[in-house]
């Protein structure tokens, strides 16, 4: 049994599983496939050819904690999912974000409010994308990485598994931190190796290669390889590896 508000119009091409909830104000495109036990909140706009797997939560309104740095005075606009996107099982996508066409948000991933994700991206299994993150086109974020609030990942960036980004040098202490919270900027074509850590506000320049396990404490130079703890210059990126 599905619970679909009578105001929601479903094209004959839409395929529905069982026990779904679709609230008033949701818009569903053509050729959409929705698994079972999916919740689609009001205001959500889903493009054509989108696939949503079992248990996904789509367009949830955020509810920040009392001590959160994020303050919301009103409900945020509905989530928008572009044509041909795929949403994995038990993924949670908040309202106020935009998912680009042909992008994959894999199983158990979480995308918070006020996030922009470009077209043809991969947000891997178990990835967390916090609020106010901007992600370009054809970005790959592999499993279990953490993309903190106020981070920017430009076009063609590669984030390997278990990468951690940070944005708060005060770690929750003092009022001064509120004006200085800033995530990393990872520029076009940069690659960040597995289990690396990017400290608040660092810029990873275009085509930088961050070796696995590195701790990036300062801005890198364009098209260089950095490694270590803290990360230091090793060599230039080979020309054959550049975009």
CATH topology assigned to domain 1-62+77-117: UDP N-Acetylglucosamine Acyltransferase; domain 1 (2.160.10)
CATH topology assigned to domain 145-243: UDP N-Acetylglucosamine Acyltransferase; domain 1 (2.160.10)
Q: What is the pLDDT of residues 64-109, one digit of tens each?
A: 777 776 667 678 999 999 999 999 999 999 999 999 999 999 999 9
pTM for this prediction? 0.94
Where, residue-wise, is CATH 2.160.10.10 in the chain? 1-62+77-117, 145-243
Residue 48: strand pairing partners: none
Q: What is the pLDDT of residues 117-163, one digit of tens each?
A: 999 999 999 999 999 999 999 999 999 999 999 999 999 999 999 99
pLDDT at position 69 is 67
Residue 14 has pLDDT above 90, yes or no: yes
Q: What is the pLDDT of residues 184-212, one digit of tens each?
A: 999 999 999 999 999 999 999 999 999 99
pLDDT band of 176, cuts 50, 70, 90: confident
């Amino acid at each position: 049994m599905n619970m679909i508000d009578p105001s929601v119009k479903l094209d004959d091409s839409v395929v529905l599983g069982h026990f779904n909830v679709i609230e008033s104000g949701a818009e569903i495109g053509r050729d959409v496939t929705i698994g079972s036990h999916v919740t689609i909140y009001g205001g959500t706009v889903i493009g054509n050819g989108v696939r949503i797997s079992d248990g996904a939560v789509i367009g949830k309104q955020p509810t920040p904690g009392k001590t959160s740095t994020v303050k919301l005075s009103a409900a945020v606009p509905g989530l928008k999912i572009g044509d041909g996107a795929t949403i994995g099982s038990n993924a949670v996508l908040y309202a106020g974000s935009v998912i680009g066409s042909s992008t994959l948000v894999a199983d158990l991933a979480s995308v918070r409010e006020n996030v922009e994700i470009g077209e043809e991206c991969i947000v891997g299994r178990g990835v967390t994308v916090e609020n106010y993150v901007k992600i370009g086109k054809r970005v790959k974020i592999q499993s279990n990485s953490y993309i903190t609030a106020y981070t920017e990942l430009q076009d063609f960036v590669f984030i390997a598994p278990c990468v951690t980004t940070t944005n708060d040098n005060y770690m929750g202490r003092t009022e001064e931190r509120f004006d200085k919270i800033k995530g990393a900027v990872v520029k076009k074509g940069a690659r960040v190796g597995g289990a690396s850590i990017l400290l608040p506000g660092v810029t990873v320049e275009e085509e930088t290669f961050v070796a696995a396990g590195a701790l990036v404490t300062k801005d890198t130079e364009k098209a260089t390889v950095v490694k270590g703890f803290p990360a230091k210059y090793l060599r230039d990126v080979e020309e054959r590896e550049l975009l």
